[in-house]
Structure 1
Amino acid sequence: MWMSNESNRDVSSIFRNPWKQNVSNLEKMRSDLKEIVHTELFLNRRNVKKSQKFKYMIPGGSLTTNLRFYKLMQEYSPEQTVYKRCSIVGNGGILNGSKCGSEIDKADFVIRCNAPPIIGQFIEDAGVKSNITTLNPSIVIKRFGSLRTGSQQSKFINKMKEYNNYIWFPSFSSGLGIYNLAIKVNNLLNGKLKSIKFVHGNPNHFHEIRSYWLNKGLKNMLSTGIYITTSSLLFCDEIHLYGFWPFSTDIHNRPAAYHYYEDMKRTTYHAFNQEFDELLNLHINGVLQLHVKDC
């Protein structure tokens, strides 16, 4: 789907006309989501008991929290505020040379996916503002050795200094090992950094969002990008997506790296093409705006 040069030309035709928000369509989708989603993006002391059982985000197993975990949580979730304009930044190579950084940063609320580099050479294209930055466990495991040594921990702390406000972690994604890693990261950041707050992703919220998309035919595990984008529809009045592009060429048929900061093998774990199809439909219907060209 959408992978050939001919398909890319089909996609590019959609972006020739100026985008216009359709508030009625946005409110309709928000209403549909609210029928299914009754929880918050973050676990916090107002929505979690001192001992509570959670099913993992990846089906198979559950875990019961304890008082130690309860004390680590924040008091409330930031999505209780409704923001006028939100930028959600994926990591697609189409950000390279886009000069979209200042446009991204002018949003009232900026969400970045999977702790990408944003300082130095990347600021002009990706911006620097961050209100929520998601952190995949695989990043901590592969890039920082699960924080086993002091040098790995120092390297991780220096990396986290790029961000502000909230670091979101799927602490209940897939087992006790990830849960214990979440607590380790939480304790480390609490002791070393005051500029950010570590927050635990709510698995019940994830299951509710996934249920919405299962009804739409998305059978694969949701990517962080579409999950966070869908969540933001509940607390953002105008949503702009940057760096969401799953293809090896851009709309001008120029090569596009998988990530704007590195080129790596494209994963098949998530249904990125199908997810992009859904986001494209939301763009067409004025629910959100996909930015796929230079700014």
Structure 2
Amino acid sequence: MRGQLLKLRFSLIITFLCFGSLLTSLIWYNYNVEPHRLPAPKKNLSSLSEPCKSCTEVMDKVAQSNTEISKKQEDKPEENREGNNKAAEQNSKISKNQEDNPQKVKEGNSKAAEQNSKISKNQEDNPQKVKEGNNKAVEQNSETSKKQEDSLQKVKEVIHKAVERYSQTWKKQEDNYQKFRSNLSSKCHGLEEAIITQNNKPVGSEIVYDGSKKTLKVTPELFSIFMKEHPFSNKTLDTCAVVGNGGILINSSCGEMIDSAQFVIRCNLPPLANGYEKHVGIKTDLVTANPSIFNYRFGALNGPRHPFVESLRRYGNSLLLIHAFSFSAYTAVSLRAIYTINDFESPIRPVFLNPEYLKSLLLFWRAQGLRENRLSTGLITTSLALELCNNVHLYGFWPFSNHPHDLHNLTNHYYDDMQAKKQFHAMPAEFDLLMRLHSQGILRLHLGDCPTGGK
């Protein structure tokens, strides 16, 4: 709009200049013509007035434009007045805020001063508190160090006593063995009750979980999975090797001695390849499986199951003893394991550990002085071997983090350093009982390196 106005004004100026130039020419002509010349005819004058008509039209347009501009200029003051009113209102608010701010700033300054006063007070008190805290920390560190020293000293004493007892020449005491075995068999009946079969758990009977008070009714489908007869009934073996997973087996060269046993029992699906063969052997007749292994190693068997089946290949056609009825949460994944084994036609033979046997076994060992809520897999399999075999040899049973001979550091397992749950198992207490049986000639513990060339 503003550009149009400028154009119109510029046109008006040009028109006025043209008109002025024309008038100047006429005046000059009138005053400078010769006297004898006749005045110009009217006809020429009227013809000269024709250009003025176009000038008049231009002037009319300019006047009209000026009228419109004036009209808009008359409207703008109202808009400006409204804008000015708004600006005045905002300025009033700003002024009001400016008047209030000093009070708020004053209040804020007062709070800041109060906080600074508290900080100053704390700073004055802190040296004393820091000093007290440092003293407590030093005292706690001293107590912690003392406890660690005491604990290490106790471990050294236990190791020293164990080595002292172990250093004595071992000889089997047949009378002690027969007496202990008879007592264990009469209380626990491992050869008939350790494994669930169709004989000891018929359809309609109930399975009572040993880790809780829950029960499970035996259905025809579940019954069909059970082994028909106990695999150890009316059977006595000569030599059994129970292989624990302790770090003491590292570089032990015990593999040949282990494999020379008539019956080899292993715990919790341990690795046997990748260089471990020389130290732990490869022969397996029975291997246990805690269902927690199915969960954390094989994704509870909810995904691909082939890796699980492949991991069982190393154990051949051995018995797979599963703790399916310790806790109800373990039952479903244990059943999936058995279905997987059957679906892939694996040669391994899955069986269930009987929770009633575990309860009677716990009572038996408590009578021997053991105080714990749950028995370790190693003690369970050792108990079964003591009923099954005339000669029981234990390998990898050493619950301490130092080697018995030179006290060098050991990992918890020969294949990793994962720690056992202390709230479940009392490994040193169990080891003390096993050492007692070793000293009595009932079983034989193997600590340290094994001689090559067999037993």
Instruction: Give the TM-score band, short-chain normalised.
Output: over 0.9
- Aligned AA (1:108): Q
1:3 Cα offset (Å):
5.1
CA contact (8 A) 2:395 2:446 kept: yes
1:215 equivalent to 2:367? Answer yes
Structure 1: how far apart are the matches of 2:435 and 2:395?
13
Give the 5 Å matches for 1:51-200: 51-80=204-233, 81-150=235-304, 153-164=305-316, 165-175=318-328, 177-200=329-352
1:238 equivalent to 2:394? Answer no
Q: Which runs of 4+ in 1 moved over 3 A?
A: none
The DSSP-based 3-state class of the residue aligned with 1:179 is helix
CA contact (8 A) 2:211 2:326 kept: yes
1:15 Cα offset (Å):
2.1
**Which has the higher mean CA deviation after the structures are superposed, 39-48 or 222-231?**
39-48
**Which has the higher mean CA deviation after the structures are superposed, 157-166 or 56-65?**
56-65
Q: 1:22 to 1:275 in 2, by over 3 A?
A: same
- How does the TM-score come out when normalised to structure 1? 0.95
Structure 1: how far apart are the matches of 2:358 and 2:217?
17
- How does the TM-score come out when normalised to structure 2? 0.62
Choose between structure 1 and 2: higher helix proportion.
2
Aligned to 1:289: 444
1:209-241 per-position Cα deviation (integer Å, ceiling 9, x unaligned): 111012223232101110111121111100000
Structure 2: how far apart are the matches of 1:204 and 1:6?
37
Aligned to 2:162: 11
Structure 1: how far apart are the matches of 2:170 and 2:244?
20
- Aligned AA (2:439): I
1:266 Cα offset (Å):
4.1
Q: Is there any run of 5+ residues in structure 2 with no aligned partner, and where?
A: 1-150, 451-455
1:70-101 per-position Cα deviation (integer Å, ceiling 9, x unaligned): 11112222222211000000000000000100
CA contact (8 A) 1:190 1:197 kept: no
**Which has the higher mean CA deviation after the structures are superposed, 32-41 or 106-115?**
32-41
* Paired-residue identity, %: 33
Q: Highest CA radius of gyration, 1 or 2?
A: 2
Q: Tell which has more relative contact order, 1 or 2 (C-alpha 8 A, sep 6+).
A: 1
Q: Is there any run of 5+ residues in structure 1 with no aligned partner, and where?
A: none
Structure 2: how far apart are the matches of 1:76 and 1:225?
24
Structure 1: how far apart are the matches of 2:327 and 2:421?
18
**Which has the higher mean CA deviation after the structures are superposed, 95-104 or 217-226?**
217-226
Structure 2: how far apart are the matches of 1:5 and 1:214?
26
